[in-house]
Structure 1
Amino acid sequence: MDWITHDEDVWFDFRGDSPKQLTPGRYYKGTVDGFADFGVFVDLAPGVTGLLHRSELDRRLESLDWESGDTVFVQVKNVRSNGNIDLGWSIRQSESEFRGARVHDPDGDDDGEPIDNGSADDGPTPVKKTPKGISTKSRVGNGTDSTEDTEQSASTSAATETERPDDDGDSVDASEASGDEVTETTEEADAETEFEFEEASESDATTDDEEPTEVEAPERVTVDSLGDRVGERVRIEGEVVGARQTGGPTIFEVRDETAVVDCAAFVEAGVRAYPEVDEGDVVRLDGEVELRRGELQVETEELTALSGDEAATVETRLEDALSEKARPETVEPLAADEAVEAVTDQLADAAEAIRTAVLQSRPIVVRHAATADGYVAGAAIERAVLPLIREEHARADAEYHFFTRRPLDDPVYGMDAATNDVTRMLQDNERHDEKLPLVVLVGVGGTTDSLDGLGLLGVYGASRVVVDADAVDTEIVDEASVLVSPSLTDVDASGLSTGALGANLAAAVNADASDDLAHLPAVSYWQETPAAYVDLASEAGYGADGTRKLREAVALEAYYQSYQDKRELITDLLFEDDGGLAGHVSEQFRIKLDDEVETAEANLETREVDGVSVAVLDADSYSHRFDFPPTSLLADALHRRADDDRVATIVYSTDELFVRAEGVDVRTAAADASDAVPEGGITAVGIRQNRVEFLSGAREDVVDAVAAAVVDQL
């Protein structure tokens, strides 16, 4: 098979059913399935979807003129061990630009056979049956026939026949033909048209002497039973949770009280079937269950949008089943923790909201701080949710469509982050008919700094789950759809980390993931890890040294490209590492941090304020501002490693400072300092980081005033 050496000159039509059957380096014909912030998803076959990352494009992602359903050509760069497919850009985007085309059918006899131009399969295999009421001749829409168009087609066919060439190649005009010949030709054309119409839609073909044949309505069944009904006609009732147009049929994702199934409706290649049916509609669908390349699909014969009492009955059935399925039966804390035990009802509410979003095919956006603690909390929820998404949706790329984790460099969900999220969700809703997301804020939405951001989400009706181990401001209670915080109880939660609370929420969302999450709470603590979580991690095979390495490795990776989720890297570190990766990254963390701390300690200024020692560092002068560690982490390290009598550490730069001291309310300190230096523009803006902003021109006076205000509280 010498053609293999020329793979780069041809495109391939993939007819396999597994990513592992693809050949890296080859160019394949595919169909645009959807868009994400980081690239384009392309279907190479039903159930086989790859990601064309934005870094592979030769232009900006926003400038692509592709739409969902468009036929495109891509190169398979790599197939990962988990089945993910990395795609590359092809400068050739039409068949004519390649030197040929071949079939790639790993399990078939046609593998390697050439494809004639124009004969390739241009998309998903069309359904066998035209949906009820659609003529393949008229193509005027679903549920209607066009007698006028059929008659016109017959007349045109007759006219063509009356102008056929004679034996000498000259045209014979209709006016010169005999009347009998014209009549006979017209009758033949009418008969041909009638035959084609009947063949296309046999159930609709009737004569004046015959009554329409009543087709017995199929039995209503649940989606979870379709695996045992392949080849049968069935009826399902549910909600349309997604609709996408491929190069062939229209694919409706229909959810009933048990699961979601793809339903294909075909008018003609690339034409939207049932345009009157939209996402969110309650429908009744009749069709035949098929198994296409290992995935269930219903070939739609009739699709009807329900209304009134019929719709209400189905909606009630869906809501009751959804609530029963989404609400966890019990919430079992990962370990004995009084603060977690006090919020089990809150955790159940949050878990129900997250599980409901999965069942409703609603995207989930998790926002967390770009810190080790924040990453542990966000990654824990990700670990619990992704299996549920895979279980609910057969599409291989569903976990990328329905779950996004977006770290925040500034641990406040302000207007900048909210505007970014709202812009994306409105674009996804407009361009791809995606539902508005559920936004989960872990450790970043509990203070008044986040009120404006939460309010903007609320304006557009996006649900907001706020999870915060620290005390939350009372104004947040009314702004959050669901709120989880021990501060709403009478329990002392001062020793609870956001990572520990996030891991317990993840276990409530998916109890089957509990074993994977056991070591995470211990990873989230820099010091004074509760004994219960130390023991839990040890039982899971992670000693103190192991959790330290993970914590340091995640902290280092969190710093670089802080706005990226680094999903695969974080997964490798926290869940699939044998110690080699974490050990390597942790070593880099310690080298960088130790060098910076050594320099900083040599230049610390110790000030006596009312008889109390306060260490002060000018970070602009004695640290590398644009390298690891960030100023906040440097302040943490300096205060933890203090071996003198200092009670507070203040690290300041051009227009911000970080306070490290036990039991200090940075808001009160900032307010007192502002009274002392009114021209300083002093504001507490990052409560979770004890961060204060000010005007650079008053820096020296501000530092003195904040130091005095901190000592007053000690």
Structure 2
Amino acid sequence: MGSCIICGVDVDGGGRICDPHQEDVVFDFRGNSPDQLVSDRFYRGVVDGYAEFGVFVDLSPGVTGLLHRSELDRRLDSLDWEPGDEVFVQVKGVRDNGNIDLAWSIRQADREFRGVLVQDGDTEYLPDEDAEDEETDDGDAADETESDEAAEEEAADEGEVAEDEESEATAETVEDDESEADETEAVDAAKGFEADEPEPDAVDAESETDDDAGTDEPDELDDDRERVEIGGLSEAVGDAVRIDGEVVGVRQTGGPTVFEVRDETGVVDVAAFVEPGVRAYPNVEVGDAVRIDGEVESHRGDVQVESEALVLLESEEAEAVRRRLAEALTDEARPEGLQPLAGDETVAQLADGLLDAAEAVRRAVLESRPIVVRHPATADGYVAGAAVERAVLPLIRDEHAKSDAEYHYFTRRPLDDPVYGMDAATNDATRMLQDRDRHDEKLPLFLLVGTGSTVESADGIDLLSVYGVDAVVVDAEVADPETREAVDTLVSPEIESIEGDLSTGALVASLASAINDEVRADLRHLPAVSYWAETPDRYVDLARDAGYDVERVAELREAVALEAYYQSYQDKRELVADLLFEDGGNLAAHVSEQFREKLETEVETATANVVTEAVDGVEFDVLDTDGYTHRYDFPPTPLLLDDLHRRRANGEAHATVGIGTDELYVRTSEAVSVRDVAERAAELAPGADVTTAGLREGKIEFLSGERDAVEDAVVAAVAEEF
């Protein structure tokens, strides 16, 4: 039985900290299994690397946990930790699969804790006790040496020990060799290798010209090994293998350097070790063709290769690797064809563009290129983004051995504003450059759905193009021909002069089925969810066939719209997936009820404060959105005006105008060009700096000091358009 280092009470099991003081000390973990960790304790760790969703922290060699971004007290991109930095974290728990959930620690130094303990497996002791043990061992060794010397002197007196210097020197040499062997064995044990196995990339002690992982010279490969495809490594755990491929990522951990290597069948992590935190093979970069001999292991449930030798391929061998990859990309990336959901003829007319977009997405997956999806934070936008997500994530899981690859290679970022402006583009550029410089990631493919297709997004698109990133835009609504030159692929009925009653969600759901036909059945109800009114019968019937009647579809639409508003900048991946794909009805029904209550309250207030006037035969409802809406609570102004206009239009020449401090929204019963309205209003109110801020949501911006003049000018301009 031990005693607590804080209060001195007895602790069962030989521990050194009592339960009430578990959180008062920090532990140096020297175990080798996540199961040895104790929940709620604080541990010292080393930053392994960053992901979109958090930070990986090594608690000991081979034991790594995830500090999720939701556990931080600041934004992830403002964290100043670098790989290799020492940090302090709290273990929240260990899952059944061995994954470790970490929490943020406000204490980031030893002195901020009341004590420090070493946890070696299930054993706990003070750091100085460890040092004392070493000193004791040294003292015992000294005593043994003195005894040996005395025995030797006695033996010499009896004539039993040789006295020549050569024998003495030989004895010392043997002793030194044994000492070095013991030291080598200890180092091997610390790195996690068995003492009787050769250390990967080991230096041949008999030759100064042999190589290790820290040099630029090639390793020696095993001539007897034949190449194994990465896609089959899961069946070869424990085997010595050879793989040829292209390096698609490099990250430095607190222990080994990890190379992501891809061949025509998949991607695998290859771990190469020199010493903790030191870059192995510094001459190997992303894009290089390599050959690796190593042993296949299972690391935290993922397949990984422990490198024994790694060499750069050149000339014909490198070309052969790249040719195999290129051929595989060509064969796998292009879908065989497009089968529009519900047989939509409008979608069918856009087949070529949709197949180009699907090929770009599939190629990005095969090239281990991250995919960033941007969409408006609306029900239609979320349906479109979720459809792509549903299609792409299984492809990423199939391509990559790591279980968390879907978080590394796919990101969905909603937009508060349907326009892809400079704020969003700057955020994206900053993140992608950080990921490139910190983690050697490739620049991503940007897929913009329901945004990016009008000239209002030109500045944001141009910023991405400066870095040469690929951009694909898919939009069922208004699009400008000028955008075609700015992006790699643009799909829009407007661009092709095709008439139809498409929503972006409906268009992108068919795109998603082309990306991955295996999830087609999961997508059948999504087009119906994306329409607020006048849902085409073909999509109503398709949703019903999938088990979603009209009431159920309405609940989903309303639930997604409500959740889209809150924390609109977050993807809410799991919550949205639960609503759209996994919910049996209870979650959507519950959230939908909140939607209706909040919207009804706002509509009643707005209706009571609408000012109605007739101008040139057009009836206008004008609402002061500053005075008669809750601007920072649900529903957002565009959604409120949509519902208000639907209730009051009644098929007549009707317009609804919501005007705030410096922005205005227009809803009309007939097709009206918001851009033309803004241009005419700018002529009628020349000092107001009137500009179009968003076509699809009918948004116009102006100088707040000219609000009254802008209101009159917009009403007059809309009346002229009817």
The TM-score, its normalising length taken from structure 1, stands at 0.82
Question: How far off is 1:269 after superposition?
Answer: 2.7
Instruction: Encode CA deviations 1:202-231: one digit per residue, 9 max, x unaligned.
Output: 8946699xxx99952421221122234444
Question: How far off is 1:395 after superposition?
Answer: 2.4
Matches within 5 A, 1:598-637: 598-637=604-643
Structure 1 residues 482 and 272, CA, compared in 2 at 3 Å: closer, same or farther? same
Question: How far off is 1:237 after superposition?
Answer: 1.2
Q: Is the 8 A contact 2:377 2:414 kept in 1?
A: yes
Distance 2:426 2:290 in 1: 35
1:440 aligns with 2:447: yes
Q: Is the 8 A contact 1:655 1:694 kept in 2?
A: yes
- Of 39, 59, 66, which aligns to 2:54? 39
1:531 aligns with 2:537: yes
The equivalent of 1:708 in structure 2 is 716
Distance 2:342 2:706 in 1: 49
The equivalent of 1:699 in structure 2 is 707
1:101 aligns with 2:119: yes
Matched to 2:706, the amino acid is: A
Q: Is the 8 A contact 2:47 2:81 kept in 1?
A: yes
Matches within 5 A, 1:247-326: 247-292=254-299, 294-326=301-333
Q: Is the 8 A contact 2:302 2:402 kept in 1?
A: no
Distance 2:657 2:94 in 1: 50
Structure 2's unaligned 5+ residue stretches are: 1-10, 131-144, 151-162, 185-196, 209-218
Question: How far off is 1:288 after superposition?
Answer: 2.9
RMSD: 3.6
Structure 1 residues 15 and 531, CA, compared in 2 at 3 Å: closer, same or farther? farther
Matched to 1:701, the amino acid is: A
Matched to 2:508, the amino acid is: G
Structure 1's unaligned 5+ residue stretches are: 104-111, 121-163, 169-176
The equivalent of 1:679 in structure 2 is 687
Distance 1:565 1:82 in 2: 25
Distance 1:119 1:394 in 2: 42
Instruction: Encode CA deviations 1:283-309: one digit per residue, 9 max, x unaligned.
Output: 111223334454332222221122333
Figure out how many residues of one structure are paired with residues of the other and give that number: 650
Distance 2:43 2:398 in 1: 28
Give 3-state SS (helix, strand or coil) of 1:323's partner.
Answer: helix
**Worse overlay, 59-68 or 461-470:** 59-68
Distance 2:718 2:312 in 1: 65
Structure 1 residues 62 and 647, CA, compared in 2 at 3 Å: closer, same or farther? closer
- Of 659, 663, 666, which aligns to 1:656? 663
Q: Is the 8 A contact 1:338 1:491 kept in 2?
A: no
The equivalent of 2:551 in structure 1 is 545
- Of 379, 385, 402, which aligns to 1:378? 385
The equivalent of 1:127 in structure 2 is none
Give 3-state SS (helix, strand or coil) of 1:680's partner.
Answer: coil
Question: How far off is 1:461 after superposition?
Answer: 1.4
Give 3-state SS (helix, strand or coil) of 1:641's partner.
Answer: helix
Q: Is the 8 A contact 2:478 2:696 kept in 1?
A: no
Matched to 1:451, the amino acid is: A
Q: Is the 8 A contact 2:246 2:287 kept in 1?
A: yes
Distance 1:240 1:454 in 2: 29
The equivalent of 2:487 in structure 1 is 480
1:669 aligns with 2:677: yes
Question: How far off is 1:458 after superposition?
Answer: 0.9
- Of 40, 52, 75, which aligns to 2:90? 75
Q: Is the 8 A contact 1:443 1:467 kept in 2?
A: yes
Matches within 5 A, 1:13-162: 15=32, 24-27=39-42, 32-36=47-51, 39-42=54-57, 50-57=65-72, 61=76, 64=79, 66-69=81-84, 72-77=87-92, 86-90=101-105, 91=107, 97-103=115-121, 112=122
Structure 1 residues 556 and 401, CA, compared in 2 at 3 Å: closer, same or farther? same
Distance 1:498 1:119 in 2: 66
1:563 aligns with 2:569: yes
**Worse overlay, 458-467 or 35-44:** 35-44
Q: Percent identity?
A: 58
- Of 486, 492, 498, which aligns to 1:491? 498
Distance 2:590 2:547 in 1: 19
Question: How far off is 1:98 after superposition?
Answer: 3.8
Question: How far off is 1:61 after superposition?
Answer: 4.8
Distance 1:636 1:81 in 2: 48
Question: How far off is 1:31 after superposition?
Answer: 5.2
- Of 214, 225, 241, which aligns to 1:218? 225
Question: How far off is 1:268 after superposition?
Answer: 2.2
Structure 1 residues 96 and 286, CA, compared in 2 at 3 Å: closer, same or farther? farther
Distance 1:58 1:42 in 2: 17
Matches within 5 A, 1:442-521: 442-493=449-500, 495-521=501-527
The equivalent of 2:597 in structure 1 is 591
Distance 1:199 1:351 in 2: 47
**Worse overlay, 458-467 or 184-193:** 184-193
Distance 1:456 1:420 in 2: 11
The equivalent of 2:341 in structure 1 is 334
- Of 421, 431, 437, which aligns to 1:424? 431
Instruction: Encode CA deviations 1:461-494: one digit per residue, 9 max, x unaligned.
Output: 111010110132111111111222223334312x
Q: Is the 8 A contact 2:230 2:267 kept in 1?
A: yes
Question: How far off is 1:523 after superposition?
Answer: 0.8
Give 3-state SS (helix, strand or coil) of 2:687's partner.
Answer: helix
Question: How far off is 1:713 after superposition?
Answer: 2.0
Give 3-state SS (helix, strand or coil) of 2:506's partner.
Answer: helix
**Worse overlay, 458-467 or 625-634:** 625-634
Q: Is the 8 A contact 1:14 1:28 kept in 2?
A: no
Give 3-state SS (helix, strand or coil) of 1:621's partner.
Answer: coil
**Worse overlay, 73-82 or 306-315:** 73-82
**Worse overlay, 446-455 or 217-226:** 217-226
Give 3-state SS (helix, strand or coil) of 1:464's partner.
Answer: strand
Instruction: Encode CA deviations 1:561-607: one digit per residue, 9 max, x unaligned.
Output: 22122222222222222222212221111111111111211222222
Question: How far off is 1:411 after superposition?
Answer: 0.7
Distance 1:423 1:596 in 2: 38
Distance 1:572 1:31 in 2: 34
Question: How far off is 1:50 after superposition?
Answer: 4.6
The equivalent of 1:160 in structure 2 is none
Distance 1:82 1:231 in 2: 20
Matches within 5 A, 1:238-253: 238-253=245-260
Distance 2:629 2:202 in 1: 80
Question: How far off is 1:118 after superposition?
Answer: 11
Q: Is the 8 A contact 1:17 1:45 kept in 2?
A: no
Instruction: Encode CA deviations 1:41-80: one digit per residue, 9 max, x unaligned.
Output: 3366999865323453466756655333556553333568
Distance 2:599 2:96 in 1: 34
Structure 1 residues 341 and 594, CA, compared in 2 at 3 Å: closer, same or farther? same
Matched to 1:42, the amino acid is: V
Distance 1:599 1:238 in 2: 64
Structure 1 residues 451 and 293, CA, compared in 2 at 3 Å: closer, same or farther? closer
Give 3-state SS (helix, strand or coil) of 1:99's partner.
Answer: strand
Q: Is the 8 A contact 1:609 1:711 kept in 2?
A: yes
Matched to 2:284, the amino acid is: V
Q: Is the 8 A contact 1:10 1:102 kept in 2?
A: no
Matches within 5 A, 1:353-372: 353-372=360-379
